[in-house]
Amino acid sequence: MIRVENLSKSFGENLVLDNITESIAEGEKVVIIGPSGGGKSTFLRCLNLLEVPTSGQVWVDGVEITAKKVDINAMRRKMGMVFQHFNLFPHKTALGNLTLAPRHTKIMTKAEAEKFGLALLERVGLADKAHQYPAQLSGGQKQRVAIARSLAMRPKIMLFDEPTSALDPEMVGEVLDVMRNLALEGMTMVVVTHEMHFAKDVGDRVLFMCGGQIVEQGRPKEIFTNPQNPRTRQFLNSIL
Amino acid sequence: MWAILASQRPTPPSGWEEGLLYDIWLNLIANNGWQRLLEGFALTLQVTLGGLVLGITFGFVLALMRISRLPPLRWLSTLYITVVRGTPTVLQLMIWVFVILNSPDIPRLLVGIIAFGANSAAYTCEIFRGGILAVDKGQTEAGRSLGLGSGKNMRLIVLPQAIKNSLPSLSNEFITLFKETSLLGFVAITDLTRAANQIRVVTFNAFVPLISAALIYLTVVIILTWALGKLERRLRKGDSR
């Protein structure tokens, strides 16, 4: 579903991603962990070209999105992204946030988008908040709306960039529950997170990123109980 | 007017024969001073509102040019802003009236509106640009990640928030423009300030006409400040980011 070859990204002199090659299968749930500054978010953002790689190729659903003539807007519609700070549109209601993109990319009519939007809000448990503005919602509710907003485009892949890091502890659970359900439905997911329980429960594979490289990877059980790389061990010791 | 005053010497009503009351009568009533002030005030308002509409429209276009991906548009916008902000407003007004649009066929009032609109545009452009830059980068990332093109993202997500961000500074620009129209006298357009000055010349009394004009400006500014503040608070309600 996603293939990355020799992907590098530098910001000026600073090499953030160092020649990464990796692929992610359809339906797979990949969790990326690692210390901050290790390149996790940048890697994720290269997958939908929010960051343009310095070199290397990215294929999504059989299309090389790093190619010059690709319709990147069409490709991004296949990938939903959820951000640490939600990035909901403050001038739109919850439902307005969900219907904006489907309507204006002409993949749905207004009526279809609203019907689907309401169904999605129902699914994340926020049907009663459809006509509230983001400012009236709690952090956990905002993030659930943000997830629903991405799903409104019927993506094949969902990218999560530390979706619970900006939340108060008591709101983390409700967001992770929504993500768990999504995983159960078979969505292909790439999740950057510090929630190790989630990684263990939901992840098919854990990537440990550090210094711009995937230092170690494997099944969650292996990584968490028997890490091979000293840096992985050091990281896990420091957080568990 | 002075000749009429001198020959007919209308007399003030009883109780108004001396002091400040006499001055008020002489300047505002005896020679229809109030009417002149009112006409001048109407003109001031016309130029302010016309200039504001023109300035906001053109300023918005300039702001879009300024953040455009096409370098020539950016340069043109920057050049325009540099010239307008780097020269005195009164000189710009005179150049519009006596050089650029110096034709008897073009109503001078219209030229005045154009001059102030063109001037105000340079400032509103910077206000809009600031408003656009103040919109969180995450908004664009969210929009683009949903597959919106850059144009749609700008129109549907960034600009509605940018305009809201710009409102407080736009209110200030509105008030500045209102006061700056007092320069219209330099091109012989009788606005409120010039009307007051004309009364002064006729009555040889400066205090009453000038202070009256000042009070009119002040009253309007106070009302505007209050009304715009109220509008702003209403727009901000329910929007805390």
Report pLDDT for B241: 43
- A50 → closest Cβ in B144, B148, B239: B144
- Record: contact B164-A91, CB cut-off 8 A: yes
Tell me how far CA of residue A100 lies from CA of A90, A105, A161, B79, B145, in angstroms: 12, 8, 22, 37, 13
Chain B residues inside the 8 Å CB shell of A91: 160-161, 164, 239
CATH topology of domain B42-191: MetI-like fold (1.10.3720)
* Cβ atoms B112, B45 nearer than 8 A: no
Question: With 90 as the cut, is the pLDDT of residue A75 above it?
Answer: yes
Average pLDDT, rounded, for chain A: 94
A199-215: average pLDDT: 93
- B239 → closest Cβ in A80, A90, A146: A90
Statement: the pTM of the whole predicted model exceeds 0.90? no
- Record: contact A101-B239, CB cut-off 8 A: no
- A87 → closest Cβ in B141, B148, B160: B141
Residue A89 dihedral angles phi and psi, to the nearest 5°: -80, 110
Residues of A with CB under 8 A from a CB of B: 48, 50, 73-74, 76-77, 79-81, 83, 85, 87-91, 100-101, 104-105, 133, 135-136, 146, 149-150, 153
Half-sphere exposure of A176 (CA within 13 A, CB side): 22
Report pLDDT for A8: 94
d(CA B115, CA B95): 9
**β-strand partners of A64:** A59
Of A38, A42, A34, residue with least CA distance to A7: A42
H/E segment holding residue A128: none
A104 token code pair: 């204006």
Q: Tens digits of per-residue pLDDT, B71-124?
A: 999 999 999 999 999 999 999 999 999 999 998 899 999 999 999 999 999 999
CB pairs A-B closer than 8 Å: 70
* Cβ atoms B156, B143 nearer than 8 A: yes
Question: What band does A57 get if pLDDT is binned at 50, 70 and 90?
Answer: very high
- A104 → closest Cβ in B152, B160, B240: B152
- Record: contact A87-B136, CB cut-off 8 A: yes
Chain A: closest CA distance from residue B156 (Å): 8
Q: Tens digits of per-residue pLDDT, B179-209?
A: 999 999 999 999 999 999 999 998 898 999 9
Question: Could you give the 3-state DSSP secondary structure of residue A205?
Answer: strand
Chain A residues inside the 8 Å CB shell of B154: none
Report pLDDT for B6: 54
Report pLDDT for B20: 87
Q: Tens digits of per-residue pLDDT, B225-240?
A: 999 988 888 877 655 4
Question: With 90 as the cut, is the pLDDT of residue B25 above it?
Answer: no
Q: Tens digits of per-residue pLDDT, A139-169?
A: 999 999 999 999 999 999 999 999 999 999 9
Chain A: closest CA distance from residue B169 (Å): 20
Chain A residues inside the 8 Å CB shell of B164: 91
Chain A: closest CA distance from residue B69 (Å): 17
Pick the residue of B139, B144, B145, B157 with the most A CBs within 10 A to test the interface with A by mutation.
B145
Question: What band does B4 get if pLDDT is binned at 50, 70 and 90?
Answer: low
Q: What is the DSSP string of chain B?
A: -HHHHHHH-PPPPTT-SSHHHHHHIIIIIIT-HHHHHHHHHHHHHHHHHHHHHHHHHHHHHHHHHHT-S-HHHHHHHHHHHHHHHTS-HHHHHHHIIIIIT--TTS-HHHHHHHHHHHHHHHHHHHHHHHHHHTS-HHHHHHHHHTT--HHHHIIIIIHHHHHHHHHHHHHHHHHHHHHHGGGGGGGT---HHHHHHHHHHHHS--HHHHHHHHHHHHHHHHHHHHHHHHHHHHHHTT---
Chain A residues inside the 8 Å CB shell of B238: 133, 135-136
Place of tokens 């901000």: B236
Question: What band does A82 get if pLDDT is binned at 50, 70 and 90?
Answer: very high
Question: What band does B1 get if pLDDT is binned at 50, 70 and 90?
Answer: low
**β-strand partners of A79:** A157
Report pLDDT for A146: 97
d(CA A181, CA A40): 24
Q: Tens digits of per-residue pLDDT, A225-238?
A: 999 999 999 999 98
* Cβ atoms B160, B214 nearer than 8 A: no
- Record: contact A90-B138, CB cut-off 8 A: no
Q: What percent of chain A has pLDDT over 90?
A: 95
- A74 → closest Cβ in B142, B143, B147: B147
Q: Tens digits of per-residue pLDDT, A112-137?
A: 999 999 999 999 999 999 999 999 99
B160-180: average pLDDT: 93
- Record: contact B145-A91, CB cut-off 8 A: no
- Record: contact B146-A77, CB cut-off 8 A: yes
Report pLDDT for B9: 62
B33-66 and B159-180 are packed helices; what angle lies between their axes, rounded to 10 degrees? Answer: 150
Report pLDDT for A120: 96
Chain B residues inside the 8 Å CB shell of A87: 136, 138-139, 141-142
Chain B: closest CA distance from residue A45 (Å): 10
Bridging pattern class, strands A205-210 and A188-192: unpaired
Question: With 60 as the cut, is the pLDDT of residue A194 above it?
Answer: yes
Place of tokens 């108060």: A168
- A83 → closest Cβ in B138, B156, B161: B138
